[in-house]
Amino acid sequence: MSRRRARPVAAAWLGWAMAALLAACSSPEPALYTIATVPGPVQGGGPPVVLVQQVAVAHFLERPQIVRSSENYRLAVMSNDWWGEPLAAMLTRILIEELGQRLPQTTVIADNGAVTARANATVEVNIQRLDEDAAGNLVLQAQAGVRATRETQPELRSFRFSITPPAAGTAGEVAAISAAVGRLADGIAAMLATLPARQ
């Protein structure tokens, strides 16, 4: 290709690249969302100190964008609706707050936080699903393990909640997620309440 012909082609590519860059820069800022804490029934008893390990989240949920649905072999993602913090860290924080409210005689801390203490029990959680089904209901599917000491076998339970969002759109989905995580905290708190208060 001669230099005379190369210059218009290069100019066209440069113009396209500049247009694409300007279009990207002009896209609106993403809307950021956070899961809210939901109060639940207070449980008596429970171990003095509970350590909550980092919640493990299914890989398809590990993204800034909020996942709308994983139905019909297709992942629907809200491209401009994002979580305000990494989902696993946010779920861990919310569960710690909710377990502390439900177990007032227990101090609940994170395993990777600045505050450390000798724990009397540990909580492990796997989130397998946290999105809407084909009917538009929010589904939370999880596994939880509660261990009194590191030498004992954990008590394991599976949870599945289906909640109808109170409103359409992302805000309704996040409200349903908050309610579902609150129900998960209810179940875990009930497991912890059966453990001995002292070891």
Residue ranges of domains in the chain: 31-193
- Is the pLDDT score of 25 beyond 90? no
For 194, residues 6+ apart whose C-beta sits below 8 A from its C-beta are 45
- The upper half-sphere exposure of residue 86, i.e. CA atoms within 13 Å in the direction of its Cβ, equals 10
- Closest of 192, 189, 164 to residue 179, by C-alpha: 164
| pLDDT tens figures, 49-94 | 999 999 999 999 999 999 999 999 999 999 999 999 999 999 999 9
At the topology level of CATH, where does 31-193 sit? Rossmann fold (3.40.50)
Q: How far apart are CA 179 and CA 161, in angstroms?
A: 10
| pLDDT tens figures, 125-173 | 999 999 999 999 999 999 999 998 766 788 999 999 999 999 999 999 9
Per-residue confidence (pLDDT) for residue 45, from 0 to 100: 86
Q: What is the pTM of this model?
A: 0.83
